[in-house]
Structure 1
């Protein structure tokens, strides 16, 4: 079966599994997942499974990517922060829906590979940074939407504080080797409101110093130099 046929089969599966947002389905269909999959797993690019990408990190299964994206309720005017760039696949899907996507990854080699993919796909509304995702990106806050692709013990306070009033934060909460649940957190005048979205399994969100080198930021668009506020 060709990759195109497998993609069609995947889209049909996502529809059956409860992904009803046509904009999300269109974004998933437009992004070539095979461009984000390591060569040994290329034949599994459109299977609904998690795949390893190195450094103990994984590429989430398409159903989880679509579910989290749908839960985020992204609109074209929105400014989105993603914690955990990984392969860049979730970033790419979000880039088709949002005005601009800011994404942070602590593993520089993964980030460089993701940046190359963004450039190859001409995704010019992504801004990348090597850093500690648990601290967010204060210089670019507030964000309309925040998505975390690693599990935290609870909602990181820094991320909640960088969420705009009325904004949404989607993240998994739970221990590294235990039950985790996906939550949608709404920032309201009365305080945070939590909604459980289902059981998930993610790698842990790691806070603290980076493995090596200094933090850096970079835009794949043409709006300005590194580190410039592109809001």
Structure 2
């Protein structure tokens, strides 16, 4: 029988803190949200390993280090409205709900969206709302947002997100580049989103976030 509480503490002490993520609200949220409750039942024993956890074809729960470092860069505060793009089964949303005023979780897969809603309700995340729709479109009716986090990789950020970020708003995404990639933090300026590299990371490219390949004869 896995001791999930001990696994959660080990995740924080061996993966998150050594990655220079030490903000108390993030550490507290990661210690309190049971990651094992937001993965497919057969994968509960590996929920805390330092790697992505598969959720569906081409979809993963980001590994703890990557997710924590993205949260650290975004510096989510108690007055922030957050858009969580590609929430999967709701783990990232449950963590963010402890940091933000409110979080809108967007999920394209109907079955995962339904599961996320049920699991978030069971977790007591009453400031989180799950919306079903195409990830690349964002969700304009709830915006604009203080923070957007993309739970997967993108080859080019869909244009919809520029219109859904408040001035001065922050966005974090993993940009795929062949077999590699890097997590970047964006700041919404009058000239558009200004990006800077945070750290190297890879993840599967989300639906609608790939660059269309040019046709060649």
Scaled by the length of structure 1, the TM-score of the pair is 0.84
Structure 2: gaps (5+ residues): 210-217
Compute the RMSD of aligned alpha carbons. Answer: 1.6
Per-residue deviation, residues 162-191 of structure 1 (Å, max 9, x unmatched): 10011101011125x532211100012354
Deviation of the 1:136 alpha carbon: 1.1
Count of aligned positions: 207
Alpha-carbon contact 2:62-2:152 (below 8 Å) kept: no
Pick from 68, 71, 79 the counterpart of residue 70 of structure 2: 68
Deviation of the 1:150 alpha carbon: 2.2
Q: How does 1:74-113 map to 2 (within 5 A)?
A: 74-113=76-115
Find the counterpart in structure 1 of residue 32 from structure 2. Answer: 30
Pick closer, same or farther for the CA change 1:134–1:24 going to 2, 3 Å. same
Find the counterpart in structure 1 of residue 57 from structure 2. Answer: 55
Alpha-carbon contact 2:76-2:100 (below 8 Å) kept: yes
Residue 161 (1) aligns with residue 166 (2): no
Structure 1: gaps (5+ residues): 209-231
> Residues of 1 paired with 2:203 and 2:10: CA distance?
25
Pick from 145, 160, 180 the counterpart of residue 147 of structure 2: 145
Find the counterpart in structure 2 of residue 129 from structure 1. Answer: 131
Scaled by the length of structure 2, the TM-score of the pair is 0.89
